[in-house]
């Protein structure tokens, strides 16, 4: 019996555990960002204004 090769990525042979010294990545819930029924918010990043919009299907779109 010949199995077809899988194109799926394989995990590394010896995965390394996450470092305990690495800083935690902050997590912000989109529910917090779009509280009160807002569907759009503006983000000022180094003087450039970006728009983060939530679509009717719940997807997020970030535009300049």
Share of the chain above pLDDT 90, in %: 61
Let me know if residue 2 belongs to a domain: no
Rg (CA), the chain: 20
Let me know if residue 30 belongs to a domain: no
Let me know if residue 9 belongs to a domain: no
Q: Return the C-alpha torsion angle 61, 42, 44, 64, nearest 10.
A: 40
Q: What's the structural domain count of the chain?
A: 1
Let me know if residue 48 belongs to a domain: yes
Region 35-41: what's the mean pLDDT? 92
Let me know if residue 40 belongs to a domain: yes
Residue 41 near residue 28, CB atoms below 8 Å: no
Q: Which residues contact 50 (CB under 8 A, 6 or more apart)?
A: 42, 43, 44, 62, 63, 64
pTM: 0.59
Residue 54 near residue 60, CB atoms below 8 Å: yes
């Amino acid at each position: 019996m010949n199995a077809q090769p899988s194109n799926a990525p394989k995990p590394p042979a010896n995965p390394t555990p996450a470092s305990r010294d690495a800083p935690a990545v902050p997590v912000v819930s989109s529910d917090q960002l779009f509280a009160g029924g807002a569907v759009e918010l503006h983000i000022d990043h180094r003087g450039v204004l970006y728009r983060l919009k939530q679509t009717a299907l719940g997807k997020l779109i970030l535009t300049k």
